[in-house]
């Protein structure tokens, strides 16, 4: 669940960044995808750390 929330926040943040910089629709899609993937990876690492500390 944390990973999906992180991906959604990343997509929203990427689209916002592209709009702020005056990008086109394709720019917004590319930034949204890139930030979505990056935020999802960070959220996955956080999720793994949480699970490992709870079961450790």
Tens of each residue's pLDDT in the chain, 56 residues: 999 999 999 999 999 999 999 999 999 999 999 999 999 999 999 999 999 999 86
- Number of compact structural domains in the chain: 1
pLDDT given at position 8: 98
What's the pTM value of the predicted model, to 2 decimals?
0.89
In which domain, by residue range, is 8 found? 2-55
Q: Is residue 56 classed exposed, middle or buried when 0-12, 13-18 and 19+ CB atoms within 10 A define those classes?
A: exposed
With 0-12 / 13-18 / 19 or more C-beta atoms within 10 angstroms meaning exposed / middle / buried, residue 7 is buried
Q: Are 55 and 14 in contact (CB under 8 A)?
A: no
Greatest Cα-to-Cα distance within the chain, rounded to the nearest angstrom: 48
Closest CA to 39 of 17, 16, 21, 13: 13
């Amino acid at each position: 669940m944390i990973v999906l929330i992180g991906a959604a926040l990343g997509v929203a943040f990427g689209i916002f960044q592209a709009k702020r910089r005056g990008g086109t629709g394709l720019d917004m899609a590319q930034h949204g995808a890139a930030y979505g993937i990056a935020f999802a990876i960070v959220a996955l690492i956080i999720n793994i750390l949480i699970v490992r500390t709870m079961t450790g």
